[in-house]
Amino acid sequence: MKTPLLILAVLALLSGCASSPTPDFSRPAITETKSVVFAGKTFVLKFQKDGLWEYFPENESVDAWTEMLDFTVVSRDLSRLEPLDLGKRTVQLHQLKNPNMPAILTTDNRTGILYLMLFYPKSLRKDGDFSEISFFKYYRDSVTGQIIIFHFARNIPTPANPVESTQEMGAELVPTFKAFPLYRQ
């Protein structure tokens, strides 16, 4: 009688192991990445603090850039959320600060990756009149289980039609953005 229970317990353990994702150590590690190639351009690490790595073109500064990308490793307490929930919160905050500005959120149901595009009417860049278009890719790190956010941003002269500018940039970058490899912490 004990043997069938033992077999069931072992089968339950094995099925649990088989269904949990396998850590993918072949992904590049953010913590070891000093430069990133994206859309045919090289970005170098110029700023890093706990959970955030920012990369800029070599000849541009952290304060005056045309394009930049970064990785954020979401804190463990927020990683209890799903990427979709975190993305929805990001859109809500964006809409509060930037009402009527474009925000597009899509999820790849097969992979669980969330894609988000936001338009900011005023860029943080101080040396001119710029807007910012940002693309985000939210996914779970297969090693730590934490959510990683890959972000690419471009400063553009403030456009007359933000929706049109967003559509043009989306058509240019979405395929590259989706194809960009997943990194691990």
Q: Give per-residue pLDDT as tens, 3-16.
A: 444 343 333 333 33
Which range has the worst mean pLDDT, 95-104, 121-130, 138-147, 176-185?
121-130
137 vs 180: CA distance, rounded Å: 9
pLDDT of 34 reads 98
* CA nearest to 68, candidates 46, 86, 97: 46
Q: Give per-residue pLDDT as tens, 12-45.
A: 333 333 334 577 788 999 999 999 999 999 999 9
Q: Give per-residue pLDDT as tens, 117-169.
A: 998 988 888 788 899 999 999 999 988 999 999 999 999 988 888 888 788 88
CA 75 vs CA 69, 148, 151: distances in Å: 19, 9, 16
DSSP string, 145-160: --EEEEEEEEEEEPPS
What does the pLDDT average to over 38-54? 97
pTM, two decimal places: 0.83
Residue 2 reports pLDDT greater than 60: no
pLDDT of 129 reads 86
50 vs 159: CA distance, rounded Å: 34
